[in-house]
Amino acid sequence: MSRIAYVNGRYVPHARAQVHIEDRGYQFADGVYEVVLVYRGRLVDEDPHLDRLDRSLGELRIRRPMTRPALKSVLREVVRRNAIDTGLVYMQVTRGVTRRDHPFPAKPVRPALVVTAKRVVPASEAKAEEGVRVITIPDIRWARCDIKTVGLLPNVLGKQQARETGAFEAWQVDAAGNVTEGTSTNAWIITRDGELVTRQASAAILNGVTRLSLLNLARAEGLRYVERPFSVDEAKSAREAFISSATSFVTPVTQIDDRVIGNGRAGTLSLKLRRLYFDYMANPGVAEAGARA
């Protein structure tokens, strides 16, 4: 079955999907995106992702390409046409096509919308228990990491550096020596006294939708957690560590640079949160009830 994409009002074969060479996303990275997990045919945390999309568009003063109900219809149709049971649906909105010039176009142009989807296979429980290795690198990104823009070159360089050293992810570190986030994930640690720690939402990180769901789950479970910066040294001395995202779910970290975390296997709380998150994906009311409590 060939893949199908949505491009500016048309459903087309993925291999023939294309945008104009003067689309500002291509010329200037003048656009934003979202990735939504599809689990058992359902879009997980769809509205929070669309809320964040609206926020990113507003911060860059890009018009919405269509109403939310219309966009939801497009997302579902792309998922249906690609027969996605478990996978990802990707949406990207750019300012549109216009003559190349740095300022915004003098006359409004139509925002460009692209939507694609693909299947993914979550890592098995046994694979998750092995955990992954992360490296630490300087955070060289711009000062508005809270906007989910398509300008990801620093993230690409960091991810490539991780791959070339045999690591799964790179944790970016600010000038004060504190971890901001991974190149495509949020970073978490569990301290020696069992406190769950992740950096607070600010312009320094992308406020991950999976991150927010995990905080709701932690609250519902009565777990102790705090949102604050943590240093590389604190992370290396932590009892457990893990990463989270729509593509990584909850993935335990068992090594940071050359330091083994805990006993070198996934920690009990990390695995518990992973199981809770999979339960939530199948039954989203779990975290929603915790958020209301």
**Residues listed for the chain:** 293
Higher pLDDT, 292 or 234: 234
How confident is the model over 95-113, as a mean pLDDT? 96
For residue range 282-293, what is the model confidence (pLDDT) as tens digits? 987 654 544 444
Q: Which CATH superfamily is domain 125-292 in?
A: D-amino Acid Aminotransferase, subunit A, domain 2 (3.20.10.10)
| Predicted pLDDT of residue 291 | 45
Q: How far apart are the first and last CA of the chain?
A: 45
Residue 224 pLDDT: 96
Residue 250 contacts residue 259 (beta carbons within 8 Å): no
| Residue range 148-180, pLDDT digits in tens | 999 999 999 999 999 999 999 999 999 999 999
Q: What is the model's pLDDT at position 51?
A: 98
Reference 146, options 214, 219, 204; nearest CA is: 204
The helix (run of H) or strand (run of E) holding residue 56 is helix 46-60
Spatial separation of the C-alpha atoms in residues 248 and 90, rounded to whole Å: 15
CATH class of 4-119: alpha beta
Q: Verify whether residue 107 is a known catalytic residue.
A: no
- The pLDDT tens digits of the residues spanning 245-258 come to 999 999 999 999 99
Annotated catalytic residue: which of 72, 107, 127, 148? 148
| pLDDT exceeds cutoff 70 at 186 | yes
Residues 207 and 146 sit within 8 Å (Cβ to Cβ): yes
The percentage of residues in the chain with a pLDDT greater than 70, rounded to a whole number, is 97
Q: Which of 191-200, 236-245, 248-257, 281-290 has the lowest mean pLDDT?
A: 281-290
- Does residue 200 or residue 293 have the better pLDDT? 200
Question: Could you tell me the residue ranges of all domains in the chain?
Answer: 4-119, 125-292
The mean per-residue pLDDT over the stretch 220-248 comes to 97
Amino acid 286: pLDDT: 52
| 198-202 mean pLDDT | 98
